[in-house]
């Protein structure tokens, strides 16, 4: 459930009218609903009630400080994958003891920053990374709490580009090598192995892969404990899917997910860490865009909008479906139009929806692209020298611009012409040549 509803004919974010917001901030823009963020967090954590579980929001899904802070105020920790995300989480007020650091290629600088911040745990993904962390921890005179991310070789049955738990993937330590690697971690100075971690993929729409992965973890823990290792923490990753509207059946929700967790690992006496990203934020965000032109092509009608694939890359990158809806419904139910909703970018992949049924639209009308709160703004780029669009957080009838539009001129200000291409150098060259 989300808090983007029509009041009469007009779509609102909580009590804020989207046309008014569009007038105030200009299009395109992302809008997030505080109440939806809080509700998603509450539903997720309520499902885990009774378990010793810490929910760490996967910041990669939405790195906006206000979004992270909204969840942090509810008690969420953070799962970060870079020095930048670590700084964002700390700046948003997430306590260090609720931050875990994941990722397959953390640099020495990032590992040092994590140790300096004294975060809860670093999830290591390879023996070389473990050795590097051991050296760094020793050099700064500290001990790193580490979990080994295991690759359980379980197919998550999701999009190939976001499947991470199969053998061929770059992620994690092969599960069959886990006990050998855990012993190595225990022997290395500067490391305190506390447990294991797993993340098999994103946008999972079936529960069975989770069950299989968690069962594998259980077997591993039993084996590691038999070897004399202490296992206090179990990081189960993220990955639970959300409905985008094109799924075949219902998607398992937090209760079904929690039931699998209870069954597989609930009795191991481990502290559990969960890293949901999409589930918390996807349906808490819309991308609002304005129609620039209606173009009748040779075979199709195009609704050309002012948002592009640089703002929301998911359709272009994964063929992802995002529902596109009018912000203001027509007064009378005119004959709908069937059109492709496309952006201004010079690629055919810059298409948000094909063959979409919409009320008859005109230039200037507003559309909302749904389920855009996860991996929308966080994956945006300046492609085609377009600005990064603003982000707005709504709380009941108030709103705040929580990230300004970042103009394309920001790109120019970071670029330099080398001396030999500077206009003055050209003139000098001309004179030297006698031209």
Query: Could you list the residues that contact ligand LLP (CB under 6 A)?
Result: 58, 60-61, 79, 102, 162, 199, 202-203, 237-239, 275-279, 314, 318, 375, 379
Question: Whole-number minimum distance, CB 33 to ligand LLP, in Å?
Answer: 18
Distance separating alpha carbons of residues 47 and 130, to the nearest angstrom: 34
Q: Are 32 and 391 in contact (CB under 8 A)?
A: yes
Query: Per the structure block, which two tokens stand in for 325?
Result: 């809806």
Of 138, 346, 356, 389, catalytic: 346
Q: What is the DSSP letter of 263?
A: H
Question: Whole-number minimum distance, CB 320 to ligand LLP, in Å?
Answer: 7
Question: Whole-number minimum distance, CB 159 to ligand LLP, in Å?
Answer: 7
Adjacent-strand bridge partners of 235: 197, 273
If 0-12 CB within 10 Å is exposed, 13-18 middle and 19+ buried, where does residue 177 land? Answer: middle
Q: Are 324 and 355 in contact (CB under 8 A)?
A: no
At CA 224, angle to CA 221 and CA 227, rounded to 5? Answer: 150
Query: Per the structure block, which two tokens stand in for 416?
Result: 């330099």
Question: Whole-number minimum distance, CB 128 to ligand LLP, in Å?
Answer: 19
Question: Whole-number minimum distance, CB 422 to ligand LLP, in Å?
Answer: 40
Question: Which CB sits closer to ligand LLP, 246 or 404?
Answer: 246
Q: What is the DSSP letter of 375?
A: S
* SS3 call for 396: coil
Question: Which CB sits closer to ligand LLP, 275 or 311?
Answer: 275
Question: Which CB sits closer to ligand LLP, 303 or 316?
Answer: 316
What is the rounded end-to-end Cα distance, in angstroms, of the chain?
71
Q: Which residue has the tokens 């050998």?
A: 180
Count CB-CB contacts under 10 A for residue 408: 13
> For this structure, is 346 an active site residue?
yes
Cis, bond preceding 198 (omega within 30 deg of 0)? no
Q: Are 157 and 146 in contact (CB under 8 A)?
A: no
Distance separating alpha carbons of residues 170 and 263, to the nearest angstrom: 29
Query: Per the structure block, which two tokens stand in for 424?
Result: 């003055």
Whole-angstrom CA distances from 131 to 108, 143, 195, 318, 433 are 11, 13, 17, 35, 58
Question: Whole-number minimum distance, CB 346 to ligand LLP, in Å?
Answer: 22
Question: Which CB sits closer to ligand LLP, 14 or 275?
Answer: 275
Q: Are 196 and 61 in contact (CB under 8 A)?
A: no
Question: Whole-number minimum distance, CB 280 to ligand LLP, in Å?
Answer: 8
Distance separating alpha carbons of residues 94 and 67, to the nearest angstrom: 12
Q: Could you give the residue numbers annotated as active site?
A: 346
């Amino acid at each position: 459930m989300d808090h983007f509803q029509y009041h009469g004919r007009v779509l609102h974010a909580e009590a804020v009218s989207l046309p008014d917001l569009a007038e105030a901030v200009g299009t395109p823009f992302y809008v997030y609903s505080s109440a939806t963020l809080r509700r998603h967090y509450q539903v997720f954590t309520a499902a885990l009630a009774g378990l010793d579980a810490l929910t760490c929001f996967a910041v990669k899904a939405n790195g906006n400080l206000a979004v992270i802070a909204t969840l942090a105020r509810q008690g969420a920790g953070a799962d970060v994958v870079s020095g930048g995300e670590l700084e964002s989480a700390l700046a948003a007020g997430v306590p260090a003891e609720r931050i875990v650091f994941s990722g397959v290629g953390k640099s020495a600088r990032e590992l040092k920053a994590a140790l300096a911040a004294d975060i809860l745990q670093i999830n290591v993904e390879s023996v070389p990374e473990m050795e590097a962390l051991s050296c760094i921890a020793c050099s700064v005179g500290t001990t790193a709490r580490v979990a080994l991310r295991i690759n359980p070789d379980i197919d998550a049955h999701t999009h190939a580009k976001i499947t991470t738990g199969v053998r061929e993937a770059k992620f994690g330590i092969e599960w069959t090598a886990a006990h050998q690697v855990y012993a190595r971690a225990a022997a290395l100075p500067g490391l305190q192995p506390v447990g294991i971690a797993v993340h098999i993929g994103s946008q999972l729409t079936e529960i069975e892969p989770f069950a299989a992965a968690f069962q594998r973890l259980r077997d591993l823990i039993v084996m590691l404990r038999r070897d004399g290792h202490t296992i206090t923490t179990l990081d189960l990753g993220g990955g639970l899917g959300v409905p985008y509207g094109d799924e075949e059946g219902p998607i398992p929700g937090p209760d079904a997910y929690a039931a699998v967790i209870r069954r597989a690992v609930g009795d191991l006496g481990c502290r559990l860490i969960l890293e949901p990203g999409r589930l918390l934020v996807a349906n808490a965000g819309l991308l609002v865009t304005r129609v620039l032109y209606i173009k009748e092509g040779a075979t199709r009608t195009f609704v050309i909008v002012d948002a592009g694939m640089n703002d929301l890359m998911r359709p272009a990158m994964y063929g992802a479906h995002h529902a596109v809806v009018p912000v203001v419904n027509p007064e009378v139910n005119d004959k709908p139009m069937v059109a492709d909703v496309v952006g201004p970018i010079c690629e055919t992949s810059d298409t948000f929806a094909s063959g979409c049924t919409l009320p008859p639209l005109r230039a200037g009308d507003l559309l909302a692209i749904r389920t855009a709160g996860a991996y929308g703004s966080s994956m945006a780029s300046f492609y085609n020298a377009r600005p990064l669009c603003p982000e707005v957080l709504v709380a009941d009838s108030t709103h705040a611009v929580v990230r300004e539009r970042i103009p394309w001129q920001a790109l120019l200000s970071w670029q330099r012409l080398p001396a030999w291409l500077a206009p003055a150098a050209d003139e000098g060259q001309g004179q030297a040549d006698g031209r």
